[in-house]
Every structure is written in structure tokens, then in C-alpha cells.
A and B are shown apart, each in its own frame.
Chain A
């Protein structure tokens, strides 16, 4: 580090510029760390998180790349209030400036995007507590036991229901709402009397009432298992709850990858232009920036696509067409429009609404798929490309799985359904995941999907995997 004073001055300047642009962020905490610490945090996604070998594997990979000099500039920012950002202690001043400008925009996004409105802003502390709880369970139940349970949960951790307005498992909501209503009618403080018991009672009542479980397909597999599995001990339910909390926290980031990175890149470019850089600094910055926003032939770079869409929106709303004016658009309102977009949209609606035909053509986007041994371009039609991008972002990029029946064959078996939308599952992986679900559920697990155009049911009964056409 070449002088904390210099860095502090730079941060001060950049913060001023960012505020001047209207960015609205939480108080910032910048931590300067050595490489192994930064990559540890990067691998875990948090400064302190529970222990699992998969993080070790990720850490090893990232650290190795760094040691070999292969990794590019690295930014790590935590969605929390205050917001933590981590700077590598070997960064040059200009690298730090770029990162700071970039993370301020991320922080603005965390604070203002609607998808993040439900995320806990004290997650750093919460995950630390989770880590401690799990470490405690390791002491009590043994490392192997806890690890094998975590292996199982992590395989399905993404299958939660992240809806902003979430109805709890249907029967529970009914009970709760009626309960709450009656409490409110009685008086302001009456609910205090039965704080201890109300929760448990309503749960019991619900299970008795239940006829079909779940009454309608349930998206939240984690929650469903937590509530209805007969296999789990209390500590396991506790772990499951905590894992679900963590995923709920991370989910908006999965849902807004393109937007979030696009927004941050858009702003680091605008902010850097405002700074007084020397020629050498300008060159170094240009190189760094080019490395970050670089299109790829074989995938979509979220940084690049995101910034292009934001710039396109701004451009179009600065110079609205006749039709747009007729619909109430005023000229030179591009900036306002992108602030509105960053607040209201997620990747799906962002791409669906703002990836225009012209932009697709300008960026020379295409669809490719495997043909024989090669991956070949198969489509250049705008609608197809846009829809493919959207469908890849549906459910954070994960297949959409619902619980259809928790008492299949009247035998307590679990029946899951993959909402097939033209993309087949990786069967090899599926055949490894079903045993994990079986481990959590304790009885046979079925999953319905489509393979080669035919509806297929995969079943794991604890010993063997079966596959049958329906």
C-alpha cells in the first residue's frame, strides 16, 4: 500500500463524485487485506461463514490463480449496512480507485433495488452466529455427521422461494393470519400474553387439518423439508433454517447479476472520468477497464451486457422517438430512467424490457449449441436470443423444482416436479442429488422431468436409482 493517506483522499474524492451523480449508498467500511484473506472471503462470500470443504476447494482455486498471476482485479463487497468492501493490499492506487468507484455503485444497488429490500443488512453478524452454531453442532454431533448433512443441504440450497411477497406454506399462513387478526382486535398488547405458545400451536393445528401436502405445488423445497421431514433432528432443522436464510440473502444477487454488474461498471466509468488522472494512470485504468468489460464469444459477460443495456436505455430516453414522446417521455431524461430501472427491475425484466433488436444486432449476439463435436452458431434472430437470455436467468439460472406431493403413494414419499421449459437437466448430476434429498426426507424421492422429449420419472429409494417413462 502506498500510503493510507493517499487512499483516504482518493476515497473522499470518489465518494464526493459518486454522491454528486446521485448515487445513494450505505456508510462504507474499507478493509485492506492480504491476498489469502481476500480470496477466503471471496470463496465463502462472507468474512465469516460456516466451515465446509467446498469453500476450501473454491478458495484453493482462486488463490492458485492469484499465485500464478492469472487472476484479474478483484472486487469484493458485502451487502450490509454499513457496507464492507475489501481491497487487496497489493493493489495499486489506480486499481483501488476503480474498485472503490465500482463498489459504491454496487452498494447503491444493494440499497435501492427492490429485490434487495428484504435482505438482512446485519448478515455479517448473522452468518458469524450461524458459523458458531454449526461449529457447536460439530462438537456435539461430530464433524462427519454435520458435514454429511451440509453436503445434502448444499445440493438443493437454491431451491427456495425468494418471492418478495411470500406466503408461508399455505396452511400456516391461514392459521397465522386468523390468529394475528384476532389478536389485533382484542387489543394492542394482547399478543404478548401468548408469545411462547402461539407459534407451536398453530403449527400443530395445521398438520392435523392437512389433507393433501402441499395443497398446491410448493417451490420452497428447503422449507418443505424443514417442516415435514420426519427424518430430521432439532439441530438439523436448525441448520436447515440457517442455510435457507443464507440463500434468501444471496438470492437477489443471483437474480440481478447482469444489472448489478452493469450498474457498477457504468458508474465506475463515469466516476473515473471525473477524476484527475495522470497519463500513466489513465492508461493503467483503460487497461483494467477493458479487462473487465470484455465481450466473449462463448458466454455473456454480465459486466459488458449490463453496461451496454444501461447505456442504451440512457441514450434512447435522452432522445425519445415520436412514439415514446406520445407515451409521455420527455427528452434528456435518460439518467432518471436508468435510476428508475435500477430500482424496479431484476435481470429477467431488465433483459426482457430493455434488450432491443438494435442492440442485439449492434453487439452481434447469437445463439450457439452443440452440433457434433463443435459448438456452432445456430440462431441470430433477436427474439430467440432475448428469450434465451431471459430463460437462462429464470429462477436465478437454476431449474425450477416444485414439491407436488409430500405423501406420494400414501407412503410419505416425496414427489418433485421439474417445470420443464425446453432445457433438459444434467442427469448425471440429478442422479447424485436425489440420494441427498432422500437423506433429508428419509423415504423414497421421485422427480419428474423431461428427457429427450419424453416425460420421465427418476426415483431413488435409498438403495437404487430407477428411471421410468410416464
Chain B
């Protein structure tokens, strides 16, 4: 760096490799995003964008605490100046209103960007579902894990992952055999493939692998009687969405059986389960009978981890409650846990919940969901981290 006085300017190029400031603050920003996700979990978990995305990787959700708030003008309510090509007329459309979450960046500071892209810079944080999962599942744990270990079944599988000198002719490894022959011939003076001796032969050989196979099945039961509206179903849907994703982190495969019931129960498709409404009263035991039947038919408890979850608004025919309790006990014998979620926005008196309160079994979990954010709390309650695991 020489100071060229006569020029009155200096050109210098220094080693900047230790200058990490931008990256450090970027990392702090990332930490803040993670933090914000954690704080907003109750809202995020029931965010419609996510539930309806079918698990697409990225979702756009406004993470509010990360905006740099200023006292600023309302962009939508003010006039702006633009320039046309010479033929603009009153009434011409110059732009479409962007989606929600408009956040034009206040570009203070003096870093000027030549030809700065005109127009507003709408900011919305993009968050991957994986990030939300990471934050959410950190707080969850599968109860009764010992059960899972017992039900792990071992499958034997062969994998060709070894090479030996002896073996079946059908499994000869041509490439390796030729290579060996080549090397040996080269040592003897001539680098060629032939002749190939017995000693050059190489065979692919298998080993037996023991694989722990773990399967889980969720028996999703829901009251589809007239009293269950769109809101109740949405809550159930959000819950099952996250439950599915959570179990997938614990098991290799997770299957779902959807059992819809009013006065009688039947196995339906996922779509029908969440969209169809039926009329009539409610007999919950019908769903439990069906669930037991399904377990009997398809899901052997020694092979499957079974998670029956029932969502209802709690309006059950009182005479049925006793049967229900009995059946829940039967179900619990075969499954890892039994969850009962009651969507009850208005604090109605619920006959079913009252009956269930008498059940005392660590496998039995129940939760009353009053609003969207309760999906998160229900998840936490059902899959509570117990102290000794922390």
C-alpha cells in the first residue's frame, strides 16, 4: 500500500479473510428465526398453508417478530409515482396487489445499489416444514417406548457387500477377476488379461443383515355426525397431519386407517374422512368396535405399534358411555397409547369426557381443544416429554 501523493488517491487490496462480521450477524438472524418459530409454534402448527401443503418443503409464513418495525406509511393507501413508455393512460393497470404480508424494506443506510430494482420489496419469511418440525418435535416424545422395542420385528435380508476368492460361479465378479489377472500378468512381464487362472477368480458374496423393522399404524377415528363442523374437522386434520409427521421420525413406516362414525362406523378414505359430513346422532362405541375389528384383521399388535386416536365433540349418547370405557380398555391392551381429543370451543358439558375422566391408565390421554392454537398444546400433552428422559 504505497501512498502516491501526486495522485491524491490510493488503491489497496487487503486480506479480508478474517472479516466475518456479516456472517456472524447473519447467524444471529438465523438464530432469531429459529427462536421466532419456537415462540410461534402454537400458531404455526395450525397454519393452514402447512396443513394443506401436503408436506411440501417450503411454506411462506409471516414470522412477525423478525420484521424491522418502523413508523411508516401504508403503501396500499397512498399514491405512488411511476413512468410509462409514453402512452400511459388513466386507468391502466401497472401492477397487481401482492399477497398478504407486504413488508417493504426500509432501505436506510448509504449502501447504494446502482439500478436498484424498482418496485417494492415484499418480505415474507420462508420457512421449511423441516425447521418447524425440528422445533416442534424437540418438545415431543413417544410415550411407552418400551412397547415399541418389544414389537420390533427382525427381518433377515441378504446384501451383496463382500468379495472373496471362493464362491458360486454364478456370482463371479468379472471386473475384479480381470483386474487381478491383469495385475498378475503384468508382474510376470506382459500386461494382458489372458491367461486367467483359478487363483484370479473373485466372487461377490453376501452377508446376512438383520434389520429392525418398525411399523406404526394410526387408527384415526372421528365423529362425523352433524355436530362436527368445518372448524372441528380442521382441528382434527391439523392434529393428524403433525402426528403423522412425528411418528414418521420414530418409525420406518406409518400407516393410517380412517374410521368415520356417527351411529355406526366404517373405514373411509382420507378425503372422505375430512370432508364428508353426515347427519344423525353419535354412538362412539361403534368406532371402537370397528377399530378392534381392523386391528384383528390387519394389524397384529406384535408387529405394529398401534395408535388409536379419537376426535369428537363429546356429544355421545349417554347410554353408550359405559360400553365406550370398556372398549377403550380393550383397545389399550393392544396399542401403545389411546388418545382422545375433544374439540369443544364453547365449554359445553361433555358426557363422554366426563366418563373418560375416570379412566386411570398411563396409556390413556385426553385433551380438550378450544381453538386452533390448541393443536400444538394437544400435541404436547399427548406426546409429553417425561422428566426422566430429559
Contact = CB atoms under 8 A, between A and B. Distances in A.
A89 B14 CA distance: 11
Interface stretch (B20-28, B39-47, B279-287, B375-383): B20-28
A426 B81 CA distance: 19
B78 A28 contact: no
A425 B73 contact: yes
A433 B92 contact: no
Most chain B beta-carbon neighbours within 10 Å: one of A376, A377, A401: A377
Contacts of A51: 21, 24-25, 28
9 contacts: A43-B22, A43-B109, A51-B25, A53-B29, A73-B114, A155-B71, A300-B83, A370-B76, A370-B97
Interface stretch (B2-10, B158-166, B201-209): B2-10
A457 interface: no
A274 B197 CA distance: 81
Interface in A346-391: 363-370, 373-380, 385, 388-389
Interface string A53-92: 1111101101100000001111111110010000001000
B32 interface: yes
B25 A398 contact: no
Most chain B beta-carbon neighbours within 10 Å: one of A12, A297, A385, A430: A297
Nearest to B68: A54
B9 A30 contact: yes
Interface in A14-31: 15, 27-31
Interface in B113-144: 113-116, 118-120
B12 A297 contact: no
Given A301-B118, A369-B78, A377-B90, A8 B68 contact: no
A370 B82 CA distance: 13
Contacts of A261: 112
Contacts of A33: 13-14, 16
A29 B7 CA distance: 11
Give the interface residue-count category, chain B.
35 or more
Given A375-B96, A429-B72, 20 more contacts: A11-B7, A30-B9, A44-B22, A45-B111, A56-B29, A57-B29, A57-B66, A76-B112, A364-B85, A365-B83, A366-B81, A368-B81, A369-B78, A385-B81, A398-B72, A401-B71, A423-B78, A424-B73, A426-B72, A429-B70
Given A75-B112, A364-B88, A423-B74, A432 B69 contact: yes
Contact of B69 (A34, A82, A373, A433): A433
A31 B114 contact: no
A48 B25 CA distance: 13
Contacts of B64: 432
Interface of A: 1, 4, 7-8, 11-12, 15, 27-34, 36-37, 39-45, 48, 51-57, 59-60, 62-63, 71-79, 82, 89, 102, 154-159, 250, 253-254, 261, 291-301, 303-304, 363-370, 373-380, 385, 388-389, 392, 398-399, 401, 418, 423-427, 429-430, 432-433, 436
Given A27-B8, A56-B29, A374-B95, A250 B108 contact: yes
B79 to A, nearest CB: 5
A51 B30 CA distance: 14
Contacts of B32: 53
Contacts of B81: 299-300, 365-368, 385, 388-389, 392
Contacts of A423: 73-74, 77-78
A300 B116 CA distance: 10
Contacts of B72: 398-399, 425-426, 429
Nearest to B11: A30
Contacts of A12: 7
Nearest to A131: B21
Given A56-B27, A293-B115, A155 B68 contact: yes
By Cβ-Cβ distance, the 9 closest A-B pairs, closest first, are: A56-B25, A296-B118, A45-B109, A40-B22, A42-B111, A56-B26, A59-B22, A432-B69, A299-B118
B371 to A, nearest CB: 19
Q: Is the interface of A mostly helix, strand, loop or mixed?
A: mixed
Contacts of A296: 82-83, 118-119
A102 B70 contact: no
A378 B79 contact: yes
A424 B29 contact: no
A199 B366 CA distance: 68
A432 B71 CA distance: 9
A324 B3 CA distance: 49
B12 A32 contact: yes
A156 B108 CA distance: 12
Nearest to A33: B16
A262 B245 CA distance: 55
B94 interface: yes
A366 B26 contact: no
B89 interface: yes
A456 to B, nearest CB: 13
Most chain A beta-carbon neighbours within 10 Å: one of B28, B91, B120: B28
Contacts of A78: 110
Given A53-B25, A293-B115, A426-B73, A388 B12 contact: no
B120 A370 contact: no
Contact of B110 (A250, A366, A373, A427): A250
A238 B165 CA distance: 79
B225 to A, nearest CB: 40
B79 A36 contact: no
A74 B25 CA distance: 21
A436 B69 contact: yes
A418 B72 CA distance: 11
A67 to B, nearest CB: 13
B68 A154 contact: yes
A42 B116 CA distance: 13
Nearest to A73: B114
A78 B109 CA distance: 11
Contacts of A368: 79-82, 94-95
B110 A79 contact: yes
B93 interface: yes
B12 A425 contact: no
Contacts of A36: 22-23
B9 A367 contact: no
B258 to A, nearest CB: 38
Contacts of A43: 22, 109, 111
B75 interface: yes
A385 B32 CA distance: 41
B29 A363 contact: no
Nearest to B97: A373
Contacts of B80: 298-299, 367-369, 375, 388, 392
Nearest to B70: A155
Contacts of B25: 51-53, 55-57, 59
